[in-house]
Amino acid sequence: MANAAADPSTTGRGLFITLEGGDGSGKSTQARLLEGWLVEQGRTVVRTREPGGTEVGVEIREIVLHHRGDIAPRAEALLYAADRAHHIATKVRPALERGDIVIQDRYLDSSVAYQGAGRVLGGPEVRDLSLWAAEGLLPDLTILLDLDETVARTRLDAAQKRFDRLEAEAGEFHGRVRRAFLDLAAAEPERFLVVDAGDAVDVIAATVRDRVGSLLA
């Protein structure tokens, strides 16, 4: 599939970079390091996340990740899509049209992995829903931080944080999520950069900078 983010009529002059991976893979750390490097290069950067990148998104995030009690899987997928539609329309597209670089923690690939595979709703259906919500926008680059789900769980346990609804799922769920991410990367190798999230933080950051630098060149 052609990358909609490469079409200037769709995204302007900016660059859309997303970070994906299981919980505990280090996405937030790498997003912060990449932002710092790009700012040092004189680039204007918008760093954001899904869900929760807007005021509306913060409220949706609280529902999908911290609601006490069950949420039907299809309702969960629709809530993520609603957050995505508002976020892309009000924050991401305007930034790209200004020529900014958008660094985003999670995007539609997370929905395909978590709701499509994890919740067993079907990857193609969830992807179509997400593309409709985002009006077809795909990233220029998706960085997949791949980490064995048992190692990720050890990291989360060590952090002693309150688990959200998805983090609290069993290992089998997270195994399906990881496999789905890897399948997505294999299907679109031109868009994905797969990085071993078990490597040292600075090694991962250097690999990411090399790939992003090639896009900027």
Domains annotated on the chain, with CATH: 4-216 (3.40.50.300)
Which residues lie across from 90 on neighbouring strands?
none
Region 11-35 average pLDDT: 91
DSSP 8-state class, residue 171: H
- Please give the pLDDT value at position 154: 82
The proportion of the chain whose per-residue pLDDT surpasses 90, expressed as a percent, equals 76
- Please give the pLDDT value at position 6: 41
| Crossing angle of the two packed helices 27-40 and 201-216, in degrees rounded to 10 | 50
**If 0-12 CB within 10 Å is exposed, 13-18 middle and 19+ buried, where does residue 89 land?**
middle
Confidence check: pLDDT of 159 > 60: yes
How long is the chain? 217
CA distance 185 to 179: 10
Confidence check: pLDDT of 216 > 90: yes
Contact 107, 35 (CB under 8 A): no
Confidence check: pLDDT of 188 > 70: yes
- pTM of the model as a whole: 0.89
CA distance 60 to 54: 10
Least confident of 71-80, 110-119, 161-170, 190-199: 161-170
Q: Cis bond leading into 124, ω under 30°?
A: no
- Please give the pLDDT value at position 164: 72
Least confident of 3-12, 115-124, 126-135: 3-12
Nearest-5° Cα angle at 17, 11 to 23? 135
Residue 144's SS3 state is strand
Confidence check: pLDDT of 8 > 60: no
Region 150-173 average pLDDT: 76
Structure tokens belonging to residue 92: 């991401």
| Residue 27 confidence class, pLDDT cut points 50, 70, 90 | very high
| Residue 160 confidence class, pLDDT cut points 50, 70, 90 | low
Cα–chain center distance at 141: 11
In the predicted model, what is the mean pLDDT of the chain?
A: 91
Confidence check: pLDDT of 4 > 70: no
- Please give the pLDDT value at position 161: 67
- Please give the pLDDT value at position 13: 81
- Please give the pLDDT value at position 12: 57
